[in-house]
Structure 1
Amino acid sequence: MNLSREGKIIEVGMAEMRISSAPGVMVTRGLGSCVGIILYDPIKKIGALAHPMLPDIDKARVKSNPAKFVNSVIDMMVKEFTSKGCKIHSLKAKVFGGGHMFSAIPYDSPFNIGIKNVNKVKEALNSLKIKIVVEDTGGNYGRTIEFDLSTGLVKVRTLFHGEKRL
């Protein structure tokens, strides 16, 4: 992606969420079993990127960082958008990661955090009637994503599976 001179690069770390407007690129690295969740208002060109690690804050002992959990970070994202005058029905979602990173854990195991994260994202977004327009999840490899706030396009980079724009 070519970043314009006025554009900014916004790094989003593990268990973090950021929201910004165009121009700019939001980046998160090292999505393994974690998920990268993008919500985007294509009319206002406002986007948010979250990198939660676990599916459900309700099952956690320590709840001090809601951005660490899929269900609570989606709530945070929606509140940020509505505070900026965005309508929930205008939001589009893109979901990445949720890989099966530990071969010692069977794919259908309740300890497969990647699939649990992806399922929780779908459940939470479906309950809000936010449509997932792009999904690149699963597999046994990590991802880095770069989200262009001006176009809404996402570049997905992987070590052994190449690069794609979605």
Structure 2
Amino acid sequence: MQTVAEVGTIIEVGMADAKVSKAPIKLITRALGSCVGVVIYDSARKTGAMAHSMLPDIDKARIKSNPSRFVNSAINNIVSELEKSGSHRSRLAAKLFGGAQMFSFITPESTLNIGQKNVQMAHEILEQLGIKIIAEETGGTFGRTITLDLETGKVLVDTVSWGSKEV
């Protein structure tokens, strides 16, 4: 994971990626399907992070070379980076996005429902870290693009299904 400090407008967070930055930067990630997008924000410092993770648990993975690929390690890493940059955990708030069921042959009870497992893992890790989830836009059967405005902490959610809304 890289800490982003350059002044610019929008910085892309790719799949299996995570970034930490501060205002006036905006962080964007595209094509959140079953992947989960985790946004963590410190309103006092106008500092935040975004992760786009594909799988729930690094501990169950054979290949662990990219911690941002996994929800649990990505969240732990971005919280650690935010704390290193001066944020206090007590000021951090989280928002969750994605976790869709992208394939119609998968039932909600299916062991293949990776989206649901990703969201569940995000809830578990954030609870363990004592970080409150203040907004969530997860599930469904459609992809999302999210943009975090580090000036305000607001997230713009774009979907093909129902357009745009601010969370």
State the TM-score, normalizing by the size of structure 1: 0.95
Rounded Cα–Cα distance in structure 1 between residues aligned with 2:69 and 2:106 = 22
Rounded Cα–Cα distance in structure 2 between residues aligned with 1:161 and 1:139 = 11
Rounded Cα–Cα distance in structure 1 between residues aligned with 2:14 and 2:57 = 19
Specify the SS of the correspondent of 2:68: helix
Q: What residue is the counterpart of 2:133 in the other structure? A: 132
Rounded Cα–Cα distance in structure 2 between residues aligned with 1:161 and 1:99 = 14
Conserved? CA contact 1:143–1:158, under 8 Å: yes
Q: Which runs of 5+ in 2 are unaligned?
A: 1-6
Rounded Cα–Cα distance in structure 1 between residues aligned with 2:159 and 2:138 = 12
Conserved? CA contact 1:7–1:22, under 8 Å: no
Q: Which runs of 5+ in 1 are unaligned?
A: 1-5
Deviation at 1:161, TM superposition (A): 1.5
Q: What residue is the counterpart of 1:162 in the other structure? A: 163
- List per-residue Cα deviations over 1:59-113 (Å, max 9, x = no partner): 0010000000000001101110111111111100000000011111111111100
Deviation at 1:160, TM superposition (A): 1.8
Q: What residue is the counterpart of 1:118 in the other structure? A: 119
Specify the SS of the correspondent of 1:75: helix
Runs (4 or more) in structure 1 with deviation over 3 Å come to none
- Specify the code of the residue in structure 2 equivalent to 1:34: C
Rounded Cα–Cα distance in structure 1 between residues aligned with 2:84 and 2:161 = 40
**Greater share of strand:** 2
State the TM-score, normalizing by the size of structure 2: 0.94
Q: What residue is the counterpart of 2:62 in the other structure? A: 61
- List per-residue Cα deviations over 1:29-64 (Å, max 9, x = no partner): 000000110010000000100000000000001000
Specify the SS of the correspondent of 1:40: strand
Q: What residue is the counterpart of 2:50 in the other structure? A: 49
- Aligned-residue sequence identity (percent) comes to 54
Specify the SS of the correspondent of 2:117: helix
Specify the SS of the correspondent of 1:96: strand
Q: What residue is the counterpart of 2:143 in the other structure? A: 142
